[in-house]
Amino acid sequence: MLDALFRPRSIAVVGASTDPTKLGSLPVKFMLGAGYDGELYPVNPRASTIQGLPVFSSVKAIGQKVDLAIIAVPKEFCAAALADCAEAGVAAAIMFTSGFAEVDTAGAMAQLEIAALARRTRMRVLGPNCLGVVNFAEGMVASFHPAFALTEKRAGRIGLASQSGAFGGLSYSLARERGLSFSYCVTTGNEADVDIAECVSFLADDASTDVILLYLEGCRNGPALVEALKTARRNGKRVVAIKVGRTASGAAAAASHTATLAGSDAVFDAVFRQYSVYRAQTIEEFLDVGVACALGKPPLNSSLGLVTVSGGVGVLMADAATDLGLEVTPLSEATQARVREILPYAGPRNPIDVTGQVVADPKLFERGLELALAEGGFGALVAFTGALPRNPEHAPMLTGVYASLRERHPQVCLISAGLSTPQFRDELGALGIPSFEDPTRAVRAAAALHFFARRVCEPAVGEKRSLPSLPGGPIGEAEALRALGAAGIPVVEAHLATDAKSAVEAARTIGFPVVLKIASPDILHKSDMGGVLLGLASEAEVESGFGELLARARRAHPEARIQGCLLAPRIESGMEVVLGTNFDPVFGPVVMVGLGGIFVEILHDIALRLAPVGIEEAHAMLRELQGFTLLEAARGRPAADIDAVARAIVDLSSFALAHAHEIVSCDINPFLVLSKGAVAVDAVIVRKSGKEQA
């Protein structure tokens, strides 16, 4: 679909100029330098040659098939230039020009016209306000960012997709400094037409890309992004994302930066967890994990071996590993004894502190590492060599040690930490050993590789089921519970009584004590008006309770439609859980779980996923909760039925999906979890208004 954008064989540069420093001249200069061998057509009505190439007065005047047009003219000439391209049958255009939706309303209107033109003519448009595309294998530099000035035809296997141009350029520069090579870079800017999801989708299907680095501020088309991420995972590609606007200040800044719909950051975070995207918090982490993915091997398990020339750094790395969920498993006593034989002063446990002794004899370092690799059972190993790689005598010896280890252990996940040189780093990189100067960052890279190794295979997703339609009009509690019951969620046995007499009969059927609740589709917060009576123990209490609730409801909500009262058995025990669904404007139905009370209200301790959710993912949600241990058995308390909650999450997610067109939200609060089974005790479903359904 986006081939014309990423792999054009002929490019018109509209706004190329005889001044080689101008925006429109730079791509021509960069591509000539990079050896792009497709056709290059500078377009300028007032010049005859530019950088040695013949110039055309318009795109139409070229008279040849043009795959891609670069538009680098002032804002006021953009519309005409685009129209010219479309008429000439150009397949795709890139608009560098800024001053559109990111600046003011007039700009936003002009951008809408660009979008309309793209839809009408089917010419794909990237930008405006973007820094374009680079295809490194072909030396195709459709960008003016100075970071691409010295591009050579040297392709790597990292694809970079960024909504921000400056961020893309910066990340590329930093990555190049660290010796990384790329397949493609693309920046999407204001996304009048082509959006970030399409670019991720392109990279996810591109055979020359293994790792996708993604910078996001928001997303216009959530489902498309999810599909692209699924494709990436299915194709074994690792996606590292940085998504800014996590905080209120950040979100406000993002809103004023691009005109993209930001969406809820918590939902983005859920999407990343769900589709195995590693979320980086800083540029440094973004690139570190990129380096690890590009060079490193997948760890076999979560145990981390640490070898160090400094005991102190060993402790530091052990702390970091534990923080990141890796296990610093000690070597067996027998192996420790063998380490001590080789290195008398060593700390042999794990971290394996080989001490400064190895400076005198790097063979000792190799034998220590070999022992750890052969007998430690580690999924990955980080070796800290201090300043040794900076020493011109020691560096080649160390490289030799790593090369011979790699020969004996071709698939092991090895990471180097310590002061380094570009040469040492690149030699290790060629051996599939990422290296980091900071030891904590090396450990974090191991944890990131473990993150990907753990989630390579797609977990089973929930099924999309067809469910009975919801009743018309606002939905009362009784209907809500019934609808959820029909979706497979265990619900309390609730009876709707329309008068006191039938209430007493229902109570007799249920058995005392009972709970009595006002039943009205117009009263969502029953407790606030005293609309719930707990533990009524006799027929007399039920009878008088019925009258009292009706009276209270009429006083508090004179206009509400009152259906009567709902009766349910009183459930004395169980752990309170809150389940819910919400319709996210970017991604659609989202399902939520949290523990009741302060966990949700004070600590905001909830887990989110997009619907549908599979059973494995539902369990992962529960394990994410800070309060998860409350569900497990503890002193004098049996374990809660965690499976029952997970199944309810799965069923609620199917329910949310089946009714996505008609409901805004559904809250089950509380969902009482017993030691065997669970039950929804109260439920509120909010229907979309007619406008929202449309």
Contacting its own copies within 46-105 (CB under 8 A): 98-99, 102-103
The piece of 346-354, 398-406, 423-431, 471-479 that touches its own copies (CB under 8 A) is 346-354
Backbone dihedral region of 673: left (phi > 0), alpha (psi from -120 to 50 degrees) or beta? Answer: beta
The answer to whether the beta carbons of residues 673 and 595 sit under 8 Å apart is no
**CB of 432: closest distance to its own copies in angstroms?**
25
State the binding string over 460-489 for its own copies (x if CB under 8 A, else -).
Answer: ------------------------------
Cβ-based nearer residue to its own copies, 25 or 350:
350
The CA distance from 310 to 139, in Å, is 45
- Member of 249, 466, 573, 689 binding its own copies (CB under 8 A): 249
Nearest to 183 by CA among 161, 216, 215: 161
Does position 420 bind its own copies by CB under 8 A?
no
Pull the structure tokens for residue 203.
């990279």
Pull the structure tokens for residue 224.
């498309």
The answer to whether the beta carbons of residues 88 and 57 sit under 8 Å apart is no
Question: How many whole angstroms from its chain centre is CA 421?
Answer: 33
Contacting its own copies within 530-569 (CB under 8 A): none
Pull the structure tokens for residue 141.
């530099």
**CB of 401: closest distance to its own copies in angstroms?**
19
The CA distance from 186 to 160, in Å, is 6
- Member of 66, 90, 320, 369 binding its own copies (CB under 8 A): 320
Q: What SS3 state is found at 424?
A: helix
**CB of 163: closest distance to its own copies in angstroms?**
7
Cβ-based nearer residue to its own copies, 220 or 246:
246
The piece of 224-232, 350-358, 514-522, 541-549 that touches its own copies (CB under 8 A) is 350-358
- Member of 69, 126, 316, 480 binding its own copies (CB under 8 A): 316
Cβ-based burial of 202 (10 A; exposed 0-12, middle 13-18, buried ≥19):
buried
DSSP state of 173: H
Task: Using the structure block, give the residue that is written with the tokens 């007032």.
Answer: 46
**CB of 176: closest distance to its own copies in angstroms?**
11
The piece of 51-59, 244-252, 572-580, 671-679 that touches its own copies (CB under 8 A) is 244-252
- Member of 52, 105, 207, 312 binding its own copies (CB under 8 A): 312
Contacting its own copies within 291-310 (CB under 8 A): 309-310
Cβ-based nearer residue to its own copies, 349 or 495:
349
Residues 6+ positions from 105 with CB-CB distance below 8 Å: none
Q: What SS3 state is found at 597?
A: coil
The CA distance from 218 to 196, in Å, is 9
Contacting its own copies within 618-647 (CB under 8 A): 626-627, 629-630
The answer to whether the beta carbons of residues 569 and 515 sit under 8 Å apart is yes
Pull the structure tokens for residue 450.
């473990």
- Member of 24, 156, 169, 521 binding its own copies (CB under 8 A): 169
Residues that bind its own copies (rule: CB under 8 A) add up to a total of 76
Does position 571 bind its own copies by CB under 8 A?
no
Cβ-based nearer residue to its own copies, 164 or 335:
164
Task: Using the structure block, give the residue that is written with the tokens 């990343």.
Answer: 272
Cβ-based nearer residue to its own copies, 103 or 615:
103
The piece of 50-58, 432-440, 458-466, 671-679 that touches its own copies (CB under 8 A) is 432-440
- β-strands 514-519, 564-569: how paired? antiparallel
Contacting its own copies within 252-291 (CB under 8 A): 252-254, 256-258, 281-284
Cβ-based nearer residue to its own copies, 134 or 497:
134
The piece of 119-127, 153-161, 169-177, 222-230 that touches its own copies (CB under 8 A) is 169-177
Does position 351 bind its own copies by CB under 8 A?
yes
Cβ-based nearer residue to its own copies, 178 or 609:
178
Does position 193 bind its own copies by CB under 8 A?
no
Does position 422 bind its own copies by CB under 8 A?
no
The answer to whether the beta carbons of residues 580 and 669 sit under 8 Å apart is yes
Count how many Cα atoms sit within 13 Å of the Cα of residue 138 in the half-sphere of its side chain: 19
Backbone dihedral region of 488: left (phi > 0), alpha (psi from -120 to 50 degrees) or beta? Answer: left
**CB of 310: closest distance to its own copies in angstroms?**
3
Is the preceding omega at residue 351 within 30 degrees of 0, hence cis?
Answer: yes
- Member of 166, 460, 540, 639 binding its own copies (CB under 8 A): 166
Contacting its own copies within 195-224 (CB under 8 A): 215, 217
The CA distance from 360 to 343, in Å, is 12
Residues facing 383 on adjacent strands: 307, 416
- Member of 269, 327, 505, 543 binding its own copies (CB under 8 A): 327
Q: What SS3 state is found at 411?
A: coil
**CB of 455: closest distance to its own copies in angstroms?**
24
Angle at 225 (CA atoms; ends 224, 226), nearest 5 degrees? 90
Cβ-based nearer residue to its own copies, 61 or 255:
255
**CB of 353: closest distance to its own copies in angstroms?**
7
The 3-state secondary structure of 55-92 reads CECCCHHHCCCCCEEEECCCHHHHHHHHHHHHHCCCCE
**CB of 355: closest distance to its own copies in angstroms?**
8
The answer to whether the beta carbons of residues 614 and 459 sit under 8 Å apart is yes
Does position 441 bind its own copies by CB under 8 A?
yes
- Member of 246, 454, 552, 557 binding its own copies (CB under 8 A): 246
Does position 332 bind its own copies by CB under 8 A?
no
Task: Using the structure block, give the residue that is written with the tokens 């497709």.
Answer: 38
Contacting its own copies within 123-142 (CB under 8 A): none
Cβ-based nearer residue to its own copies, 314 or 521:
314
Question: How many whole angstroms from its chain centre is CA 593?
Answer: 19
